[in-house]
């Protein structure tokens, strides 16, 4: 047995899970897909005393399409999004991103809410949902909270979630008609965490256009100069040189220090994502 | 200690387990099914891949107690499976294994790949195999075996029963 000893409790409902964690005097963790918590416990990097299993709660597996947005339960697994078994409002961006998360056996268990709660800066969902301006609905003993994704991530592996608070679902606004996206993940080995994650979006109406870069800092970064460059080039891709210098300008002005190699990896990823928009 | 009741290869097994016991340790040490292999024990290498409720999963990072009420199939559960039979033959003929340590996880992963129809090109096959590490074959024999199995499944008119 690799993990440190702990007690396991399978929650009967969301309220039961929250109550159990809230009243536990010690270190308790929610278990959703367990694809991060499992390894972390095996490596003894995480040593919770109580593990509350929320993976079987129907509340967390519901998906519903509303008039102008999609509500995805936090317990929805990556492979369900990959296989389009839940509704999509992102024109296929989420399915594409899901297909690149780790490996199929991991995607069959790992959940979108778990990934957000873990907040690994190199993971797919934090950056993708940042680019999609998602809202995160949480539940705790104090009731519900709706948090915009810009506020949700405090830093690497750190979110606004309180100890007993659970992500219940994620709200994603419908893409307007005619919106296009480009997505580029840079990694040396298939299935590993990203070295760079670039998402470029062009909205004909202009509201949702922009370039987002992940796996670069503690939280995803919106690239202002690169987004402006994209807005100025509506009909054909801006030159590679202009993209590279805009990305450099954005990264430097965000106060992120990169060496030449890292700068090259990120610039290339952004350029590839932009190129996809004009295919 | 908690009670877990798992449908293991079609038979319900019930046991008292320590809460922190992994499904892999439960399968190997308590049920004596040693076809499920353990290497990295943090979800990366794929050796411990089993089927959990019909889909591949890592048994090393799944708790035995969390599998309570679920269906688990290990490599031993596929003895009479027609598709797995084709795969075993293909692995044998195309040198899909040398030491065989990764093979149970490979077979369970590849059976799922064939069923989902992802084996349409060598690139897709290699991509889908990225979560199963083999240190002997350099993957050439494994990829060849997958292609051979896919061809044979097609030849038999897609009527391979799961």
Q: Domain-by-domain residue ranges, chain B?
A: 2-77, 81-155
- pTM for this prediction: 0.96
Q: In whole angstroms, what is the distance from residue A71 CA to residue A73 CA?
A: 7
| CB-closest option in B18, B19, B131 to A105 | B131
CA torsion angle A251 A253 A257 A258 (round to 10): 30
Q: In whole angstroms, what is the distance from residue A96 CA to residue A184 CA?
A: 10
Of the residues A104, A106, A188, the best mutation for testing chain B's interface (the one with the most B CB atoms within 10 Å of its CB) is A104
Question: Cβ B109–A104 below 8 Å, yes or no?
Answer: yes
Closest B-chain CA to A102: B131
CATH 3.30.43.10 domain range(s) in chain A:
7-53
- Please report, rounded to a whole number, the percentage of residues in chain A having pLDDT higher than 90: 96
Token pair, residue A172, equals 């994603």
Closest A-chain CA to B123: A190
pLDDT number for residue A230: 96
**What is the CATH number that goes with domain A62-173?**
3.30.465.10
Q: What's the gap in Å between the CA of A116 and the closest CA on chain B? A: 19
Give chain B positions within 8 Å (CB) of A39: 42-44, 61
Token pair, residue B113, equals 């790949």
**B136-148: pLDDT as tens digits:** 999 999 999 999 9
pLDDT number for residue B161: 53
Q: Say yes or no: do domains B2-77 and B81-155 share a fold.
A: no
pLDDT number for residue A206: 79
Rounded to the nearest 5°, which phi and psi values hold at A28? -115, 145
Residue ranges of chain B whose pLDDT lies below 50: none
Mean pLDDT over each residue of chain A, to the nearest integer: 96
Q: Which of 2.170.190.11, 1.25.40.10, 3.30.43.10, 3.10.180.10 would CATH assign to domain A7-53?
A: 3.30.43.10
CB distance A49 to A9 below 8 Å:
no
**A149-206: pLDDT as tens digits:** 999 999 999 999 999 999 999 999 999 989 999 999 999 999 999 999 999 999 988 7
- Please report, rounded to a whole number, the percentage of residues in chain A having pLDDT higher than 70: 100
CATH 3.30.465.10 domain range(s) in chain A:
62-173
SS3 A53: strand
- Level-2 CATH architecture, domain A180-277: 2-Layer Sandwich (3.30)
Is the CATH number 3.10.20.30 carried by domain B2-77?
yes
Q: Report whether pLDDT(A65) > 70.
A: yes
**What is the CATH number that goes with domain B81-155?**
1.10.150.120
| Residue carrying structure tokens 């320590």 | B18
CATH 3.30.390.50 domain range(s) in chain A:
180-277
Q: Beta partners for A184? A: A198
Reported as a pLDDT band with limits 50, 70 and 90, residue A238 is: very high
Q: Report whether pLDDT(A247) > 90.
A: yes
ipTM over 0.85: yes
CB distance B103 to B39 below 8 Å:
no
């Amino acid at each position: 047995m690799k993990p440190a000893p702990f007690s396991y409790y399978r929650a009967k409902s969301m309220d039961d899970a929250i109550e159990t964690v809230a009243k536990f005097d010690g270190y308790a963790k929610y278990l959703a897909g367990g694809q991060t918590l499992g390894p972390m416990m095996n490596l003894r990097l995480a040593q919770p005393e109580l593990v509350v299993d929320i993976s079987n709660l129907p509340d967390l597996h519901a998906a519903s399409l509303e008039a102008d947005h999609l509500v995805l339960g936090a317990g929805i697994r990556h492979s369900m999004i990959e296989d389009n078994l839940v509704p999509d409002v992102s024109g296929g961006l989420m399915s594409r991103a899901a297909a690149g998360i780790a490996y199929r056996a991991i995607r069959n268990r790992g959940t979108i809410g778990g990934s957000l709660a873990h907040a690994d800066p190199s993971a797919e969902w934090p950056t993708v949902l940042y680019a999609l301006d998602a809202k995160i609905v949480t539940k705790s003993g104090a009731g519900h909270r709706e948090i915009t994704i810009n506020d949700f991530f405090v830093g690497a592996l750190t979110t606004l979630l309180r100890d007993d608070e659970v992500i219940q679902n994620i709200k994603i606004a419908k893409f307007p008609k005619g919106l296009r996206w480009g997505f580029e993940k840079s990694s040396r080995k298939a299935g590993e965490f990203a070295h760079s994650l670039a998402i470029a979006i062009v909205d004909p109406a202009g509201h949702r256009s922009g370039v987002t870069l992940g796996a670069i800092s503690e939280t995803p970064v919106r690239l202002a100069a690169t987004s402006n460059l994209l807005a100025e080039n509506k009909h054909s891709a801006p030159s590679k040189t202009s993209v590279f210098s805009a990305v450099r300008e954005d990264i430097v002005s965000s106060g992120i220090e990169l060496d030449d190699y890292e700068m090259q990896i990120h610039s290339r990823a952004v350029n590839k994502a932009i190129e996809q928009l004009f295919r | 200690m908690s009670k877990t009741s798992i449908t293991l290869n079609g038979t319900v097994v019930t046991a008292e387990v320590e809460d922190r016991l992994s499904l892999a340790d439960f399968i190997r040490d308590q049920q004596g099914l040693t076809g499920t292999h353990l290497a990295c024990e943090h979800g990366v290498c794929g050796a411990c891949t089993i089927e959990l409720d019909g889909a591949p999963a890592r048994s090393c990072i799944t708790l035995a107690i969390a599998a309570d009420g679920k269906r688990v199939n290990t490599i031993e559960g596929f003895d009479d499976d027609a598709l797995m039979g084709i795969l075993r033959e293909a692995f044998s003929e195309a040198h899909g294994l040398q030491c065989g340590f990764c093979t149970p996880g490979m077979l369970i992963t590849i059976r799922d790949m064939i069923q989902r129809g992802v084996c349409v090109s060598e690139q897709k096959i290699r991509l889908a195999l990225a979560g199963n590490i083999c240190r002997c074959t350099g993957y050439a024999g494994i990829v060849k075996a997958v292609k051979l199995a896919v061809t044979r499944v097609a030849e038999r008119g897609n009527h391979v029963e799961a």
